Amino acid sequence: MAFLVVREKGFTVQCLVSTQSEGVSRQMVRFVAGINRESIVDVIGVVSVPGNPIKGATLQVDILVRKLYCVNKAMPTLPINIEDAARSDVEIETSLQDTRLNFRVLDIRTPANQGIFRIQCQVGTLDYKGQPAYLAQSPQLHKQMSICGDFGRVFENGPVFRAEDSYTHRHLCEFTGLDVEIEIRKHYSEYKPNTLRFTFAEGVQMLKDAGVEVDPLGDLNTETERKLGQLVLEKYGTEFYILHRYPLAVRPFYTMPCYDNSLYSNSFDVFIRGEEIISGAQRVHVPEFLAEHAQACGIDVNTISTYIDSFRYGAPPHGGFGVGLERVVMLFCGLGNIRKPSLFPRDPRRIAP
């Protein structure tokens, strides 16, 4: 027999694994007893109400476990103990407080922090007390770290700054970003609406059939995106569709490859009127694979060590997307230029008024 407490978003429930339950063997009991703390698990069982109050969990029910899957194993020895971090500030010495801040992903799993935190990101580069520091151009990495902190769903909106020389009708150096990150239960497509969808390969074939040659493992440019939108409108009578399974080589290093073909990825873009408005994907949540892929993309893993370490403490499968507000408004209203829905647009040539 083995007991374990499962936690999600601050709530905990007591689980009992016993050979007296249907389908539970002694090997399974030993397996469950050996799972590292803070590992991510899926539990299937029967809920029951015990006769005596439960003191070790927030929910006053038991789960008699029938099946248990370890989705992602945490490292055997964690840098901080969640129970210690959950103690009141009066009990916490300065040294422990510093440790909690050093391993924030674990610290924000405590009940108090689950009720407190909201994410707010700024952007830029600066000298921070004698050492170089970089404020993110998007909340991407910190959204993922917050998912690792057991928030389940993370939503953020705020200014995004891009130092890029893009002199186009749809690019700005400053725009309003709407970002979402969500735990994945089964597959990254579970949150997609019932919208017209094509794989990237199918989109390339549509373009090829129309006489437009596109690199099957490359990306689409503005002209090919517009052409594909035109073809979709002519064939399906809609200007709103999803293109998914992009080539892995054209997506960020943290994108999850497709399980059946590593040349492609669990990623997607959403289009309106032949232009992309949303870009998203499932993220890599296995730290060893994440570090390997970052190095393959030419990234010094030492510069993102705290990000990669976040996944060593137990990380659920997750994914998300980003939306540029001004671009959505531009396309929805048919304005033709992204500067029109921006109150005071900033581009490579304009910094005033």
> Is 327 a catalytic site residue?
yes
> Is 164 a catalytic site residue?
yes
Residue in 164, 190, 202, 223 annotated catalytic: 164
Residue in 239, 279, 339, 346 annotated catalytic: 279
DSSP 285-323: --HHHHHHHHHHTT--GGGGHHHHHGGGG----EEEEEE
Extract long-range pairs of 157-163: CB within 8 Å, 24+ residues apart: 157/325, 158/120, 158/121, 158/122, 159/123, 160/123, 160/324, 161/123, 161/124, 161/137, 162/137
Residue in 170, 245, 285, 312 annotated catalytic: 170
Residue in 244, 251, 327, 342 annotated catalytic: 327
> Is 162 a catalytic site residue?
yes
Residue in 37, 162, 169, 346 annotated catalytic: 162
Query: Containing H/E element for 169?
Result: none
Residue in 153, 169, 171, 226 annotated catalytic: 171
- The Cα–Cα gap between 82 and 33 comes to 19
> Is 279 a catalytic site residue?
yes
Residue in 156, 181, 275, 276 annotated catalytic: 276
> How many other β-carbons are positioned within 10 Å of the β-carbon of residue 11?
12
Task: Catalogue the active-site residues.
Answer: 162, 164, 170-171, 276, 279, 327
